[in-house]
Structure 1
């Protein structure tokens, strides 16, 4: 049990920097999707492999990451996660130089593997730095800085990545030889420099954390490995994994295709750069909502707020599909505000009453983040065969499940 009289302001302040960084890095995927789609002349399904390569890492690496955290502790897990993520970022340099889409995808997988370890360690750590009663509120507050990163990311990505002019293969073929090399160099630089800066920041944070004295939580290292099977007997945890799958899948699907949606003449007719600025409103809404949610949860039960927000999102997406035009644009952008509290609230509810199983349970929960790999592909298939706007029914179904989890599924069996 944690000593509630202790002050954890220092460690929590340091951890918010981590939440900010992985929010910024994750939101840059929404910029890479339209950029690489144009650069390599991809279909929606092919472009969705950006998100697939990134989020499938959570499914592959989350359980091993949980074991790493259980064995070595939260601090070591965070440092290792930062270093692996830095390796993924630095690999963007050769990926851009070689203009290799498969190498881009591999770089994203390695980057996401590092962020997986980071999430598995940091989320339960924040959850444990204080009383259980305020865990959801505390995690929402730190996740608000994750949303600050996702708000700033599209603006920076739009400035440094989408601002570069992408030429088709035919257009490149008509350029003089000297201009072709200049074009390839400028295209590479538009991706290389942002990710080299991120590499340096990740390494810097790892060094700072290595030199910092973070408190050790009593149950952060699980001693009894024979308890693995009992994780899957925790009904609210398993349903929580499905909730994380649904939420991340829906959030990533909307973010991935929002720029393409706003470029459509029947919606908003925006340029890619202007649409990327609007994307910041989507993520900015999530940031504002998390600050508000962290306060509301001191007065309203977390599960009730979760169910309410999910229901509002279902109504917003349904109205966007049927109304079209600028109304659809603002309805979808408004989803970000109500998305805000969902991930940390589902995470906190699913970890309730797990004690020494918390480290590994966090790894199991993070496996649900693979929804960010699966749902965008399903939505892309609907977009390719029906229409982009109608494809938003895919995230709508995800939010219906989340509303149910907030009403019924969150309850521990005992």
Structure 2
């Protein structure tokens, strides 16, 4: 009977972790579509695009401060308590964003929103640190644990697909009266899931694995920074996350902007922008699914070379063609695909989702290969580098404010060019003389 209760508790815990996997993407991907509201509030300032991306920047900036502490928190208080801390922090962060809507569409409301986005970033960082190993633990490790993580990753991508669509649909046509309160439904959903997950997890007994046995007597003569391929890999991760977020985030602004209608865009611009951005995340899901099948036969380096090359071609074509040509593009509306007329650049940039889908895992594998006992410290540093998802889109939208949307894509283009260099040359371990046992 006790074994049955434990198994039943584990199933509930697994389902809860799956919800949290989805919430990580849900909360992260709220920032860019919500930015459409603040972009409109501060229109005419000459920096509206960069302002619209500040919420995203604050969300990712939290990783810089919480990346390594989150790992230490995990070893100090265990998986369950760390997960509870992350859930509680997420609830507070989303609640602050909801409260910002009560202050109206002005600088005070915007400041409160940014603070809420920053707190939410702490939560997402903590949850990112705990959810993967916790699912592996609940699955008993091995193939079962890996399978649960793959299912969780799929839900994460699906959530990332639906979030900009839902926000875009709730915003509707962006006008001078559009405000945070218009997307309260999304925030209520987030608050409800966080509250439910906290209550469920609080009453489920979960045993933490034994930690610290091997590292207590291990001598670290060096650090991960002593390895050139790791140093270059951290830069690659930094720019990768900026590319992953910047491409759909800026595209959402571009489509939502009324000026995009000059290219023949039809329909509700804000809603279409959300659907287009959501389709990018859907293609990332497809790419990860395909990558899971070919990953056993194709090396990370080869996949990186192929996807970065294709990504550069797509971005260059988008920059050149811009909105001179329109196409009927199938976009995922959450339940089905619908044809909408968009600039051809939008279609080309959405296809980049297939390319970015496998880059994180490929870079991580290349950068940590041959690190041995330094791998754990490397993982914490990698989590800090996620801050690139906030900073690079900020730079990209600064350029968009002072030039054009298409010119701003020089930022992800250069970033992908660096990732191609890393795959070709920078990923080679030239420090094999360093002891790693």
Q: Normalised by the size of structure 2, how large is the TM-score?
A: 0.79
Residue 244 in 1 paired to residue 246 in 2? no
Q: Which runs of 5+ in 2 are unaligned?
A: 1-6, 326-342, 433-437
Counterpart CA distance in 2 for 1:229 and 1:209 is 39
Deviation at 1:24, TM superposition (A): 1.6
Contact 2:305 2:423 in 1 (8 A): yes
Counterpart mapping for 1:11-410 below 5 A: 15-41=17-43, 43-99=48-104, 100-123=109-132, 130=141, 142-160=152-170, 162-163=171-172, 166-167=175-176, 187-212=179-204, 216-217=208-209, 222-223=215-216, 227=220, 230-262=223-255, 263=257, 264-265=260-261, 267=263, 269-270=265-266, 271-324=269-322, 325=325, 326-352=343-369, 354=371, 357-410=374-427
Deviation at 1:211, TM superposition (A): 4.2
Q: CA RMSD in A?
A: 3.1
- The SS at the match of 2:409 is helix
Q: 1:191 to 1:203 in 2, by over 3 A?
A: same
Contact 2:242 2:389 in 1 (8 A): yes
Q: 1:30 to 1:300 in 2, by over 3 A?
A: same
Counterpart CA distance in 2 for 1:139 and 1:277 is 27
Q: 1:351 to 1:50 in 2, by over 3 A?
A: same
Counterpart CA distance in 1 for 2:218 and 2:38 is 44
Contact 2:173 2:270 in 1 (8 A): no
Moved more, 122-131 or 38-47: 122-131
Which residue of 2 is the match for residue 172 of structure 1? none
Counterpart CA distance in 2 for 1:211 and 1:300 is 43
Paired residue total:
387
Deviation at 1:287, TM superposition (A): 0.9
Contact 2:58 2:114 in 1 (8 A): yes
Counterpart CA distance in 2 for 1:242 and 1:217 is 32
Which residue of 2 is the match for residue 4 of structure 1? none
Q: 1:260 to 1:83 in 2, by over 3 A?
A: same
Q: Normalised by the size of structure 1, how large is the TM-score?
A: 0.83
- The SS at the match of 1:167 is coil
Q: Which runs of 5+ in 1 are unaligned?
A: 1-6, 169-182
Q: 1:387 to 1:228 in 2, by over 3 A?
A: farther
Could you list the per-position Cα deviations for residues 334-370 of structure 1 after superposition, in whole angstroms to 9, with x for gaps in the alignment? 0112211122332344444556654443221011111
Question: Taking CA–CA contacts closer than 8 Å with sequence separation of 6 or more, which of the two structures ends up with the larger relative contact order?
Answer: 1
Q: 1:342 to 1:106 in 2, by over 3 A?
A: same
Moved more, 69-78 or 268-277: 69-78
Deviation at 1:239, TM superposition (A): 2.6
Deviation at 1:94, TM superposition (A): 1.7
- The SS at the match of 1:166 is coil
Counterpart CA distance in 1 for 2:118 and 2:311 is 30
Name the one with the larger helix percent.
Answer: 1
